[in-house]
Structure 1
Amino acid sequence: TKFGYIVDCIDIYKQPAFDHPLLKNHKLQRKPSFRNLFEKTNVMNSSTKSIFGLEKDECPRGTVPIRRTTKDNLIQSKLLSNNHILVQDLPGVHSDNYKKTGCFNLYCSGFVQTNSNKYFGARLEKTSIYNGLMMETTISITKDLKGNWWINYLGENIGYFPSKLFSNMTSVDQVGWGGRTSTPPHTPSPQMGSGYFPDENFRHACYFRNISFQNDSRTDYGPRYYHTNTLKDNPNCFGVDYYENIGKQFGYSLQFGGLGGNCGN
């Protein structure tokens, strides 16, 4: 890619996901068993630009794009593993309810890629401008009838986390939206989002809009105030405000972010 990292087109049946010990006999699922919540977006005619994917081409039929892991990636993953309770240098994606397994990004196997163009690990080429053009995208995470959790981006299914990876997600009683930063202990934290605190101006701080969750019958609900809790582990560095339903094009929305700095661990 033009950012210097390498993306390989891997046989869909030989992708890293199937190195996971829980997926040795996993049967590949090509499509989810539900209708997409969002229609596929023509990014050429939309203000929502594609930010994950191969620049021009797509992988040949029967293969999927996988970003190649480098030594620096593994070092970074190891640092996160040593400094965060949710990240351990073991295979799995929180397969034991956060006790020992799990990782950020895709540095441990488990996510099954099905899309031949879009992939995770791509660099964000364009970002929002404070008080200017906002760059945003549409993402959903949905459990299908087989219990697999599908990631949908701009109306396209990217792939899924198989149900066998999780011990506590037969049903879900909590969902969350927000941001996270991570650095080695006793070092300044980077900014979160745009680097600005929430102020009810959606051209300033980072935001989620039109958020919702579904029940078993696929009915969408926006979180009411009495359903929600906000968590700010260091209010001097980061903030989050939930506005419930503000109508128009924003619906149920929240803002988050902050300056970072000396925030502790």
Structure 2
Amino acid sequence: MRHTLTVLACVLVVLACEVVEARRLQMHKFAVKTIKSEDGDIFDCVDVYKQPSLETLSSKNHTIPIFRSHPPTSNHDSTKELQVQQRWQRSISCPQGTIPIRRSHAKDYGKSLPTSQLQRNGNVERALAYASYDGPFHGAGGRIQGWQPEVQPNEYSMSYVTVMTASNPAAPSFGELDTTDFVRAGWMVNPNFFRDNLSRLFVQWSNDNGETTGCFNLDCDGFVQTSSKIPLGASLYPISVYNNTEEQYSMQVDIYLDASLSKWCVSVQEEELGYWPIDKLFPQFINAPFVTWGGEVLNTWPGGQHTTTQMGNGHFAEEGRGVAAMNFNLSILRAYDNGPSAYLPSLFQDRPACYDTEYFVVDHEYFFTFGGPGGPTCS
């Protein structure tokens, strides 16, 4: 049986490689303009209706809606903060009616596999703030500082906002939840996925916790991008500087249900990025009992020891505001509210000796620090 499973896994990898290569060639063929960013990335400006999520027969008559100008989960004056940007934004943006798609490589075969298949050689470890009481929720938002943690090969480090459901919502603790549906947006360093160690913008989804469905960015049917200004997979710039409060950079990330209850939408820096159609992906995912903010790493136990992959900026939460990595301006949108509300979250850590989190309240604003260095002695 083991040999059968091995052969099947190899077939899946080959098929995934062929799908990625076919899509790469197809997107290049559809490009109306090509842009090279300062860090060497190449982006093709592709007609919005020719993107991967609209390739399927069921999507051929899909009409992309016009979004609201201000995300309902954002209650913050972003002009007061130093902004994370993308190097791509320093070049010319794509024409209206097109979206930027980052060129990938055929060898990136793992990109279109469900995320759990990429995690089977390791453990996911999180340090999170989460909302579970006073729901259900129709959205969440927050400002995420931009950092570039050190990440080992075949691992990743993320910071994100997630909206999710669970098959056992009454579990005794957050760590015992069995996640089912989730949508997520933020940044990650993922050498296996992006072929470098830069911090890059990503979105992610699944309706079975990554067992058989879902992917990052535009690498499978699912996420529909609408923005011509913000490319998924673009590197963030500038990156925050450790222990320097004058050079802390952040970006506003919001995920919310649209007014028609038909789409989970994403905004970055209050620019509509795109959406996941509920009828196609999440028939039962209209009310979310949980939202999370924070960090996550994949630990593959290299050499039989806990990884040295960093979370956040590699420093523990106790180092505090302006030093440790931080998420702030946390807000939620309850199903019965017309606007966003500030929220004092609960905290969760899978392995607090390796990565931890703390929260603070300053002038009625909630924020939390998180992260850690990992390492062979922390476990």
Instruction: Classify the TM-score, shorter chain.
Output: 0.7 to 0.9
State the shift of 1:263 in Å.
Answer: 8.5
Distance in 2 (alpha carbons) for counterparts of 1:156 and 1:175? 21
Q: Which amino acid aligns with 1:8?
A: D
Aligned-pair CA distance for 1:79: 10
2:71 paired residue number:
36
Preserved contact between residue 66 and residue 119 of structure 1 (Cα < 8 Å): yes
TM-score (norm 2): 0.58
Give the Cα–Cα distance (whole angstroms) in 1 for the partners of residues 57 and 297 of structure 2: 30
> Structure 1 pair 74/23, CA: closer, same or farther in 2 (3 Å)?
same
Residue type of the alignment partner of 2:281 = L
Change (3 A) 1:13 1:36: same
TM-score (norm 1): 0.81
Amino acid at match of 1:119: P
Deviation, structure 1 residue 12:
0.6
The CA deviation at 1:53 is: 4.3
Q: 1:222 Cα shift?
A: 2.6
Report Cα offsets for 1:208-255 as digits up to 9, x if no partner. 111010123323223335xx2x22222221111233x3326xx11111
2:105 aligned with 1:70? yes
C-alpha deviation, 1:183, in angstroms: 5.0
Single out whichever of 152-161 and 94-103 deviates more from structure 2: 94-103
Unpaired segments ≥5 residues, structure 2: 1-36, 121-178, 180-203
Greater mean deviation of Cα atoms: 128-137 or 16-25: 16-25
Per the TM alignment, residue 182 of structure 1 is displaced from its structure 2 partner at its CA by 2.1
**What CA RMSD, in Å, does the superposition of the two structures yield over aligned residues?**
3.2
Name the residue aligned to 1:123.
235
Question: Which consecutive unaligned segments of at least 5 residues does structure 1 have?
Answer: 87-91
For 2:87 and 2:254, the matched residues in 1 are separated by 15
Aligned residue among 74, 81, 89 for 1:54: 89
Distance 1:173 1:40 in 2: 24
Q: CA 1:74 to 1:84, structure 2 compared with 1: closer, same or farther past 3 Å?
A: same
What amino acid sits opposite 1:130 in the alignment? Answer: Y
Identity %: 30
What secondary structure does 1:199 align onto?
helix
Higher share in helix = 2
The AA in structure 2 aligned to 1:222 is: A
- Higher strand residue share: 2
- Say whether residues 1:218 and 2:218 are aligned partners: no
User: Larger RCO: Structure 1 or Structure 2 (Cα < 8 Å, ≥ 6 residues apart)?
Assistant: 2
Higher deviation after alignment, 104-113 or 124-133: 104-113
Q: May I ask how many residue pairs the two structures share in their alignment?
A: 252
Question: C-alpha distance in 2, partners of 1:102/1:221?
Answer: 30
Give me the whole-angstrom Cα distance separating, in 1, the residues matched to 2:62 and 2:378: 42
